[in-house]
Amino acid sequence: MRKPSVIPYVVLIVILAIFEIPFALVSHALGVGLAIFNVLVLVLCARGYRKKYKQLGIAQSCPSCKALYAENIVKREEINRKGGYETVTRYDTTSGTISTPGSTTTQNIHSTTLRNEQVHMTYVTYLNYLRCPSCGHQWTKVSTSKFEG
């Protein structure tokens, strides 16, 4: 990836110095740039909010009447099961006391060790039969889950 060039900024400074453009205009341009940047940040945040909002209810809405939280599972069938391996991080915590010979004081010691471990995982795919409590519409949805073992 190319590094951004400094040359356009140097050229801008030279042009401002030659034509003696007031600093207010430059600060106004910077203000407009910051405003555009703020709008971009707000748009990105709104996209994240919309995704979270979908997770909170719209993703569970009835495709027919659009009622929120309308996924009632009537029946669940396991349609696939397969094994695999994943790397997980384990936290090992140890604690103990140390005492110095000839001394009456002891010191408590706690330590945590992080280690990566390769574990066998089981991935299960389900076919869920759903029913809307509001309008009675029925539909299916595929879901997956995984567990160690």
Task: Name the token pair of 133.
Answer: 């409590």
**How much of the chain, in percent, has pLDDT values that exceed 90?**
34
How far, in Å, CA of 79 to CA of 88, rounded?
A: 26
Give per-residue pLDDT as tens, 132-146.
998 999 999 999 999
CA 58, CA 71: separation in Å to the nearest integer? 10
Between CA 102 and CA 97 the distance in angstroms is 15
Say if residues 58 and 117 touch (Cβ distance below 8 Å): no
- For residue 35, the Cα-to-chain-centroid distance in whole angstroms is 26
Stronger pLDDT, 93 or 32, i.e. the higher one: 93
Choice between 9 and 95, residue whose per-residue pLDDT is larger? 95
Residue-wise pLDDT tens digits, 78-121? 999 999 999 999 998 988 888 878 777 888 888 899 999 999 99
pTM comes to 0.50
Alpha-carbon distance of 4 to 93, in angstroms, equals: 46
> 145: part of which helix (H) or strand (E)?
strand 138-148
